[in-house]
Amino acid sequence: MTHVNAVTLTIVIILFLLVTVIGFAAARWRRAEDLLHLNEWGLGGRRFGSFVTWFLLGGDLYTAYTFIAVPALVFASGAIGFFALSYTVMVFPIVFVFAPRLWSVAKVHNYVTPADFVRGRYGSRGLSLAVAVTGILATMPYIALQLVGIEAVLTVMGLGGSSSNEFVKDLPLLIAFVILAAYTFVSGLRAPALIAFVKDTLIYVMVIVAIAYIPARLGGWSHIFAAAGAHLAKVNPVTGKPFGSLIATPASEWAYATLALGSALALFMYPHAVTGVYAARRRGVIRRNMAVLPAYSLVLGLIALLGYMALASPGVVAGVVAGGKNAQLSVPLLFQQMFPSWFAGIAFSAVVIGALVPAAIMSIAAANLFTRNIWVDFIKPGASQAEQTRVSQTVSLIVKAGALVFVFVLPKTFSINFQLLGGIWILQTFPAIVIGLYTRWFHRWALILGWAAAMAYGTIRAYQVPVAGQPNSHFGGSTAPVFGHTAVYIALSALILNLLVAAVFTLVFRALRAPDGADETAPAHYTADPAPAPAPAVAAVAAAGDPEARG
């Protein structure tokens, strides 16, 4: 993996430069009167219609996790990797129900982050802070996953990944950091929204060609499944067990099911997903996109099959072994060996750009959380919009640097664990956000206690999971046994603990008549489209008993 193909590299550079130019030029796209306003820099002015939102959410949600980590898990373990397909089937009906309500109340009250809603709903800066810190913490490993995807592609291309020099080895991540930092700082959310058009086009072309072309090169689907099944049935010398199976075994059913359900519940808790929702122009835009975004699930299923194709290619298997048994190299190696040089360049570019788009949105969303729910709430309440935007721009750089720490410190062999680790944390905001959209039964202090208990439990359990074959290692996976030997997704068991603690302490605080906090929202705000009036005026008129305001 030290030879650099000039044709492939040239195409990657050209397309990389193209999206970089688009990223900087996006500052002039649908130009705002003042880009130094958080609604403009961080949410694109809240003016994206159905077409742009489709690409923005698609670019936001379908990341290097999709293109690198999922087929890598299929390559390494077989059927368990298809949990990602199951969860994308479940997630959109769930989000179809609550996302329009979240959009409406955010539009009325000018909320920029999910923590803004929590603060307004429960009258609690402490609960808002917990949601904000969780969002930032969970987002950094997700950004790291994008950078790991870029590194895998550049490693296969021979650009430093095999070097013994640590600086040269990590140079691809540093380059990605600089590019992301530059155009995100200048253009805000407009940059990834515009680049998403290029990303999705490349991804669709790559997937269609791969599914039509690669099986013929490998002897057909029957040979692919036979070869993959034979490989997965072999005993892994590290674990003493089979590598995996083509069909989920009874022992893995609970892990598969809980990974799918937990991931589905967690996806739209991530601040970058909420940012994509908030940026929509109308409530109906959200509903339409939740109805049609499942089309991406078909693409995800086809991408997952690339893992089996890689197993059917002896050259890819040998390359993964030579690369330190790093399964995330499987898809880039497959593209390198199966495609002519010019199309390999297009495929590599699709993966790299597919990582840059969500990484930019994630850094923006995490920066907005810090600005609105830490800086403004606790450090400088009177900060102007221009100052808030400058703080977000700066913090977006820091968040990317934090993501690099995850990449350098934690094991990278199964990059999917980066995202799943974040999922353990971010799912613990579900009670405050989603349940809060429908009821305030949970007491604000009880929600904080439930969150704290679940965060501690989830982090400790994830820390205790060793990397396969390394008994004293940590953070090697995101499932752990409960009730004996049944392995389940740690995020889901932590969520159950979260809800139980919150429910018990809600009863305690209700009995003690603890102050419950003021709710600045009203029922009409959850169905407003786009906004009935400035929120303070609505609240004042409704309080005065005006029938029109109540209607």
Percent of the chain with pLDDT over 90: 59
Percent of the chain with pLDDT over 70: 90
pLDDT given for residue 240 in this prediction: 83
CB-based burial, 409-433: b 16+ in 10 Å, e otherwise? ebebbbbbbbbbbbbbbbbbbbbbb
For residue 104, what is the domain's CATH number? 1.20.1730.10
pLDDT given for residue 540 in this prediction: 45
Q: pLDDT by residue (tens digit) across 465-476?
A: 887 777 787 777
Q: Is residue 487 part of a domain?
A: no
pLDDT given for residue 547 in this prediction: 40
- The model's confidence at residue 262, banded by pLDDT at 50, 70 and 90, is very high
Q: Please, what is the end-to-end C-alpha distance for the chain in angstroms?
A: 67
The closest alpha carbon to 239, from 480, 484, 470, 477, belongs to 470
Q: pLDDT by residue (tens digit) across 25-68?
A: 988 887 776 778 899 999 998 989 999 999 999 888 888 778 88
Rounded mean pLDDT, 83-101: 93
Is the CB of residue 48 less than 8 Å from the CB of residue 55?
no
Is the CB of residue 139 less than 8 Å from the CB of residue 399?
yes
pLDDT given for residue 134 in this prediction: 96
- The model's confidence at residue 538, banded by pLDDT at 50, 70 and 90, is very low
Q: Is residue 458 part of a domain?
A: no
pLDDT given for residue 537 in this prediction: 43
Domain count within the chain: 1
Crossing angle of helices 50-61/341-370, nearest 10°? 100
Q: Is residue 74 part of a domain?
A: yes
H-assigned helices in 382-512:
385-409, 416-426, 430-433, 444-463, 490-511
Q: Is residue 484 part of a domain?
A: no
In this model, does residue 106 exceed pLDDT 90? yes
In this model, does residue 449 exceed pLDDT 70? yes
Q: Is residue 76 part of a domain?
A: yes
pLDDT given for residue 478 in this prediction: 85
pLDDT given for residue 415 in this prediction: 52
Q: Is residue 547 part of a domain?
A: no
Q: pLDDT by residue (tens digit) across 480-532?
A: 888 777 889 999 999 999 999 999 999 999 999 999 999 999 999 999 996 44
Q: pLDDT by residue (tens digit) across 156-206?
A: 988 755 555 555 666 666 776 788 788 889 889 999 999 999 998 999 999
- The model's confidence at residue 148, banded by pLDDT at 50, 70 and 90, is confident
Q: Is residue 457 part of a domain?
A: no
Instruction: Supply the DSSP symbol for 376.
Output: I
* Domain region containing 72: 6-434
Q: How far apart are CA 244 and CA 248, in angstroms?
A: 8
pLDDT given for residue 549 in this prediction: 38
pLDDT given for residue 418 in this prediction: 65
pLDDT given for residue 146 in this prediction: 85
Q: pLDDT by residue (tens digit) across 397-408?
A: 888 887 777 777
Rounded mean pLDDT, 451-465: 93
In this model, does residue 319 exceed pLDDT 70? yes
- Average pLDDT over the chain reads 87
Q: Is residue 540 part of a domain?
A: no
Tell me which of 544 and 32 has the higher pLDDT.
32
pLDDT given for residue 507 in this prediction: 98
Q: How far apart are CA 11 and CA 350, in angstroms?
A: 11
Q: Report the relative pairing of strands 486-489 and 479-482 from DSSP bridges.
A: antiparallel
pLDDT given for residue 544 in this prediction: 46
